[in-house]
Structure 1
Amino acid sequence: MNNIKITCIVVDDEPMALNLVESYVEKTPFLELKKKCSSAIEAMEFIKKEPVDLLFLDIQMPDLTGIEFSRMLPKETRVIFTTAFDQYALEGFKVEALDYLLKPFDYAEFLAAANKANIWFELLNGKEQKTQNMVSEEKEFLFVKSEYKQLRIKLADVLYFEGLKDYIKIWLKDNQKPILTLMSLKSLEAELPEHQFMRVHRSFIVALDNIDVIERSQIIINKQRITVSEQYKPKFLAFVNNNSL
């Protein structure tokens, strides 16, 4: 874990909710509260003068909703939504919120969401250094056992790896059938260059360069839809944000 604090503001038009989230932020060691605001307009004016890393943002507010405000934020600023209405969860995901807290929530729920933000910023801060370190050690191929043979797999040709208990399916460009090999996804993950491949689900590792479309919580590679599970979402969102215009 790093020692860098995540700067944040709390935005809510309900004074009790505003004070509660403020108290949660203040007892979370890696968060630094810069301001609490009773409207999105007030928060917008503050961010113009002093950008922050993270917003704890209510959705249903007068004049400008949290969803509308989140679309105006710089891409470096992340959001955790707080709301009493669960119908906004899908909208929250569309604007790439790190998490969604449904009122009333306790400190344990708040901390779980804050920890997602902490992981996201750690990954973002460490990505550049990791990438530099990986370049000199980049692998171009792997040998895998399949049908009593050692097959040379060119990593640039891999679309994704699919785990099936003790086996892995290796899906390649221009191959209609996958290569089967006896191996665990966990052991394979340790051998792959981190800047080329990412675990996005218990059963899938994807080739980042071969992603065609990202749609809500799914990745599309060669017409195959792969769900990004909650466990791996912060890391994947950090990758998307770092490569977005």
Structure 2
Amino acid sequence: MTDPAPIRCIIVDDEPLAVALLADYVMKTPGLETVLRTTHVLEALQAVQEDKADLLFLDIQMPELTGIQFLKIIRNRCKVILTTAYTQYALDGYEHDVADYLLKPITLDRFMIAVQKAKERMGVRTALAVENNDAAPIVPARKQDHIFVKTEYRVQRVDLAAIHYIEALRDYVAVHTGTGKILSLESMKHMEEMLPGDQFIRIHKSYIINCSRIDFLERGRVVIGKEYLPIGDTYKERVRTKLGLS
């Protein structure tokens, strides 16, 4: 079987050491290749506009043009992973539908998590998975254990194990945990994309649940603690399959 074409990567950061580190990570990751590594943002912009990249590693704070200004110009020409030394800038990235953001200093395992998210948005499968269904895909050693959600005033870390369920409200999404709830500006769609599918499932247009928190099912409802959450008609078969009830 012919190997799939590698994902073409452009790396742009005004810090040469940051560029070199990401280029090294790209080289170590099967299925990726660096077509441009640069500290000059305008050079990277021209390359993206000429459709030379599938995936862009983009620093947010750069002279001449910020990462956010860059995003507005390229208008989804390629998938983007933001890199930044400041957590608060993640909020801007979410608003532009980036694949992920990497907080410096960037580790290899966190880099690979971000790449996997980008691949999933591209619909890319690893060459091993295509060639042999029994082969293990290339995944980071550390399992995802948290997400970052944007609230009105900050971007907040939430441990996955602490989440009981997520509820869509009129203007917010409520992340219900064992100690209370966090009101977030995320959409339910984006929450569903961020959460690992082996642990979370959407059961209704207004609810995503942590499967490990289910106490029991009763009359078309999922019961978590004292909460009775309805299973939507269009989600019933998915829930039954997920829980091994089909």
In the other structure, the counterpart of 1:186 is: 239
In the other structure, the counterpart of 2:65 is: 64
Q: CA deviation at 1:50?
A: 4.0
AA aligned opposite 1:166: L
SS in structure 1 of the partner of residue 63 of structure 2: coil
Match of 1:160 among 205, 210, 214: 205
CA–CA distance in structure 1, aligned partners of residues 231 and 27 of structure 2: 52
In the other structure, the counterpart of 1:95 is: 96
Alpha-carbon contact 1:82-1:102 (below 8 Å) kept: yes
CA–CA distance in structure 2, aligned partners of residues 106 and 47 of structure 1: 25
What's the C-alpha RMSD, in Å, of the aligned pairs? Answer: 3.3
AA aligned opposite 1:35: L
Q: Are residue 16 (structure 1) and residue 24 (structure 2) matched?
A: no
| 1:86-125 superposed matches below 5 A | 86-122=87-123
CA–CA distance in structure 2, aligned partners of residues 14 and 50 of structure 1: 24
Alpha-carbon contact 1:161-1:169 (below 8 Å) kept: no
Alpha-carbon contact 1:79-1:97 (below 8 Å) kept: yes
CA–CA distance in structure 2, aligned partners of residues 121 and 29 of structure 1: 16
Unpaired runs of at least 5, structure 2: 126-203, 223-229
Q: 1:74 to 1:185 in 2, by over 3 A?
A: same
| 1:41-60 superposed matches below 5 A | 41-60=42-61
SS in structure 2 of the partner of residue 71 of structure 1: helix
Q: 1:179 to 1:45 in 2, by over 3 A?
A: closer
CA–CA distance in structure 2, aligned partners of residues 161 and 62 of structure 1: 42
CA–CA distance in structure 1, aligned partners of residues 61 and 232 of structure 2: 50
Alpha-carbon contact 2:23-2:34 (below 8 Å) kept: yes
Alpha-carbon contact 2:49-2:74 (below 8 Å) kept: no
Q: 1:47 to 1:180 in 2, by over 3 A?
A: closer
Q: CA deviation at 1:77?
A: 0.8
Count residues with an aligned counterpart. Answer: 150
Alpha-carbon contact 1:11-1:39 (below 8 Å) kept: yes
Q: Report Cα offsets for 1:57-103 as digits up to 9, x if no partner.
A: 00000010011101111424111001111110100100111111010
Q: CA deviation at 1:186?
A: 3.0
Q: CA deviation at 1:48?
A: 3.0
CA–CA distance in structure 2, aligned partners of residues 180 and 46 of structure 1: 46
Q: CA deviation at 1:25?
A: 0.6
| 1:83-232 superposed matches below 5 A | 83-122=84-123, 160=205, 162=207, 165-167=216-218, 168-169=220-221, 185-187=238-240
SS in structure 2 of the partner of residue 82 of structure 1: strand
In the other structure, the counterpart of 1:128 is: none
Q: Are residue 27 (structure 1) and residue 46 (structure 2) matched?
A: no
Alpha-carbon contact 1:13-1:61 (below 8 Å) kept: yes
Q: CA deviation at 1:47?
A: 2.1
CA–CA distance in structure 1, aligned partners of residues 231 and 38 of structure 2: 55
Q: 1:22 to 1:187 in 2, by over 3 A?
A: same
Higher relative contact order (CA closer than 8 Å, sequence separation 6+): 1
AA aligned opposite 2:90: A
Alpha-carbon contact 2:48-2:77 (below 8 Å) kept: no
Q: CA deviation at 1:120?
A: 1.4
Instruction: Please say which structure displays the higher CA radius of gyration.
Output: 1
AA aligned opposite 1:33: T
